Amino acid sequence: MIIENIEKIYSTSTEKVIGITNFSYSFEKGKFYAIMGHSGSGKSTLIRILGLMDNATSGKYVINGKDVSKLSDKELSNIRMENIGFIFQDYYLDQNLKAYENVMLPMLINKKIDRSDRKNKAIDLLNNIGLGDRVNHYPKELSGGEQQRVCITRALANNPDYLLGDEPTGNLDEENEIKVLETLKNLSLNGKCVIVVSHSNEVKNYADEVLFIKNGKLVVENEGN
């Protein structure tokens, strides 16, 4: 994915708030990116735009060679379904569904996965991530780190190229944070593009590239900061 001079202005009833200004970067598959910044610096704004959950006010965003501004709603939702997995700080797992059923959820709208294959596929993915002995557990029967790994597994359900996380280790203790970061690192080594926005310094230790949002600018570590 490539962003060029992406800007986001939020218009509230009383004022205009700058979310991010003129961010440019190119994110490649097979790499782990950490984007750091203080609270309010625009991390969530950026990751939501990259995840096609929100539009930039101006600038260009190209994903898989396609200019996002030129895509129809249907094309956008297809890219969202097939190419982007999203991981949230608060997991957002369905409490009434078992781990494997949560992982199956994104498959339900994917016509390319046979109905009869979904359950086995979900269980395979949970096995791969080291949760083979937790497939039938409900979220409340799992630790925070396990819940986040179920969330990562759910994000992988449709085998996306891009895995995006908004403070994915924000609710975890150090031990579980490391487990989750190791999982994300392995996924990048297996070819995914992993982008994590965070204010946790631990994330930097796993990243191939570290970016900072500083004074409203997106800057690469060691380059002018």
Q: Which residues bind ligand ADP (CB under 6 A)?
A: 10, 12, 17, 19, 37, 39-45
What minimum distance in Å lies between the beta carbon of 213 and ligand ADP? Answer: 7
Judged by CB under 5 A, the stretch of 23-31, 41-49, 123-131, 132-140 that binds Mg ion is 41-49
Region near Mg ion per CB under 5 A, out of 36-44, 55-63, 118-126, 208-216: 36-44
Q: Where are the beta strands (DSSP E) in 57-171?
A: 58-63, 66-67, 84-88, 162-166
Position 45 contacts Mg ion (CB under 5 A): no
189 binding partner (options ligand ADP, Mg ion, none; Cβ < 5 to 8 Å by kind): none
Chain residue at closest Cβ approach to Mg ion: 44
Residue 41, binding choice from ligand ADP, Mg ion, none, Cβ under 5 to 8 Å by partner class: ligand ADP
As a whole number of Å, the CA-based R_g of the chain is 18
Q: What is the DSSP string of 85-110?
A: EEEETT----TTS-HHHHHHGGGGG-
- Do 57 and 8 contact (CB within 8 A), yes or no? yes
Using the structure block, give the residue that is written with the tokens 């070819």. Answer: 191
Edge to edge, what strands does the sheet with 66-67 contain?
16-26, 2-11, 58-63, 66-67
Question: 58-63 and 2-11 as β-strands: parallel, antiparallel, unpaired?
Answer: antiparallel
Nearer to ligand ADP by Cβ, of 159 and 171: the residue is: 171
Q: With contacts defined by CB under 5 A, name the span among 38-46, 72-80, 93-101, 185-193 that binds Mg ion.
A: 38-46
- Tell me if 200 contacts Mg ion by CB under 5 A: no
Q: Which residues bind Mg ion (CB under 5 A)?
A: 43-44
